Structure formats: C-alpha cells, structure tokens
Amino acid sequence: MATIVGVAVDGGVVLAGDRRLTRGGTVSSERKRHVFDFGAVGAAAVGEAGGIDEFRRQLDSEVRSHETEQGDPMGIDRFASVASDLAAAEGVEAVVAARDDGVPRVRGISSDGGVITDDAVAFGSGAQLALGVLEGREAGLGVDDAEELVRDAVETTADRDTDTGAEIDTYRLPADADSA
C-alpha cells in the first residue's frame, strides 16, 4: 500500500502521495496515481487499485456536478462529507483539501468514513513514519516549504517502507487563491 499525506500551514495546504502499487508484498506498478487534482479541490487515496479508481471517478463526478449546480467549488465540509461516503463505500483512506470561507483546509478520511480534522494527516503503509516528519514542521511555513515538507515525508518513508515508492505527486492549494 502506498503512503499519502496532507498538511495545512499558514501558506495553504499540500497533499502528496507516491505512485507505488503493491499486491501481496510484490510491486505491481510504479505508475499508480494516488493524488488527484480537481481544480479548486484536491484529494489523495490509498487502498485497493479498483477502490482508488472508483473513489476518484465518483469524487470527480460529484465535484463537477456541485460546481455546475452551485457555480462555486465545494467547501471543505461538503467535500469531506462526500469523500467520507465514497471512502466508506470503496474501502479506501483519503486526504482531501478544499477551502473553508476562503481558507485552505485539510481533512483525513478513514476507510470507515470517519473524518479527521488535524492539520497533518497520513494514511497508508508508511503513515506513522510520514506523520512523524510532518509533526516536526516549523510554524509559519509557506506553500513552497510545505510542498518540500510533504515530499520529504514521503521520501523518508520510501527509504524505510518497501510499499512506498520514490515517485511522488503533489496537489497544492495556496492560501492566496491567485497562486498555484
């Protein structure tokens, strides 16, 4: 199982995840995306390959539908609620990022649909190791430094966890809506 992380800092929110897919202790792919960019919101998921794919597909559909009907991106509470229902149905764990009254927020979603509101979350085979790196962060980080931090968390995990790979994808949601 891969490792996914998310961290909220003063400069925004960054999600990261590796691309390794393992089955029964054997690496079956180094190209499996676990981080998804839906524009104004983002997500990362770990679990079985089919569950991740279905989670991404359905979440994308919900995001598009909401934006079409409401004319605005989903806020963090609505996005986390939708992701929670989908994660429970598909048996995946997820990290989601969206704005709450303009402020970027992160939420962890467990496979039973529970929502974690901490500023640093991690799931997957290397979650404990990655969380240790994230919790050692300095205060007042910008989004560039946060991206470096989440990459470091996944890279450190990959050095010690055979189910976590070295290829890393990220999603950024800066505090300044005009930055990317």
Q: How far is CA 46 from CA 2, 15, 62, 65, 138, in A?
A: 6, 13, 19, 24, 27
DSSP-derived secondary structure letter, 68: H
Residue 37: Cβ-neighbour burial (10 angstroms; 0-12, 13-18, 19+)? middle
pLDDT digits (tens, 9 = 90+) for 80-118: 999 999 999 999 999 999 999 999 999 999 999 999 999
Alpha carbon distances (Å) from 91 to 48, 54, 86, 96, 123:
8, 10, 8, 16, 13
Cβ 42 vs Cβ 50: under 8 Å:
no
Percentage of the chain lying above the pLDDT 70 cut: 98
Domains of the chain in start order, with CATH, are 3-167 (3.60.20.10)
Q: Write the single-letter amino acid at 148.
A: E
Q: Is residue 124 within 8 Å of residue 2, measured between CB atoms?
A: yes
Kindly state the average pLDDT of the residues 56-78. 97
Residues 6+ apart with CB under 8 A from 71: none
Length of the chain: 180
- Record the pTM: 0.95
> Which residues, in sequence order, are CB contacts of 80 under 8 Å at separation 6+?
96, 98, 107, 109, 115
Alpha carbons 46 and 83: distance in angstroms, whole number: 13
Query: Tens digit of pLDDT for each residue in 115-167?
Result: 999 999 999 999 999 999 999 888 889 999 999 999 999 999 999 999 999 99
